[in-house]
Amino acid sequence: MFYKVKVQDHIRLPPEKFGGDLKKAMFTEIKSKFGGFISKDMGLVIDVSDIEEIGEGKIIPGDGAAYYQAKFNLLTFQPELQEVIPGKIKDVADFGAFFSMGPIEGMIHISQTMNDFVSFSKDKSLQGKDTKRSLKIGDKCHARIIAVSYKDVANPKIGLTMRQQGLGKEDWISDDLDKISGKKPKEEAKK
């Protein structure tokens, strides 16, 4: 889920940025300090949306830089358990698929890709034995977040599933909806 988070922090402004537009300089410094920052509480910082307030600057002896108390808003992405999220298959391996959900990637274990016996083929795709469904690089899908780990904060791990109804490749979802409504799925209509 995307959030707008209000933060208050002391921001260091180096001497070479003195004399210019304070707000632009602060925006650059906040971006460099928080861009790509990951924490369990905030998630992944995507961007600085705006600066609300910049306090009085203070120079610390021996440093030469000015420190400003600032209030600003960050745009963050924090994956939440049970959240259904759209994305694309970025890569396929013999153990599962890597799922790109915008600013971060997750992993769908081969057992969580579909309700079928799944095998890996040499053309980097996953094939369902009975359903004949396939999953390959570039496929647009919907998946549910089932695990989030910040054990390594620099590289959080996200586990996903596509085995539940309404999840999976976009074609699968529309075929399942057709079955429920009594229409023939597109795969059967082609035969």
What is this structure's pTM? 0.76
Of the candidate CATH numbers 2.70.70.10, 3.30.750.24, 2.40.50.140, 2.102.10.10, the domain formed by 84-182 belongs to 2.40.50.140
The hierarchical CATH code for the domain 2-77 is 3.30.1490.120
Residues of the chain short of pLDDT 50, as ranges, are none
| Per-residue model confidence (pLDDT) at position 185 | 54
| Per-residue model confidence (pLDDT) at position 137 | 94
59 contact partners, CB below 8 Å, separation of at least 6: 65, 66, 67
| Per-residue model confidence (pLDDT) at position 64 | 85
| Per-residue model confidence (pLDDT) at position 164 | 86
Give the pairing of strands 105-109 and 157-161.
parallel
Provide φ and ψ at 180, rounded to 5°.
-65, -40
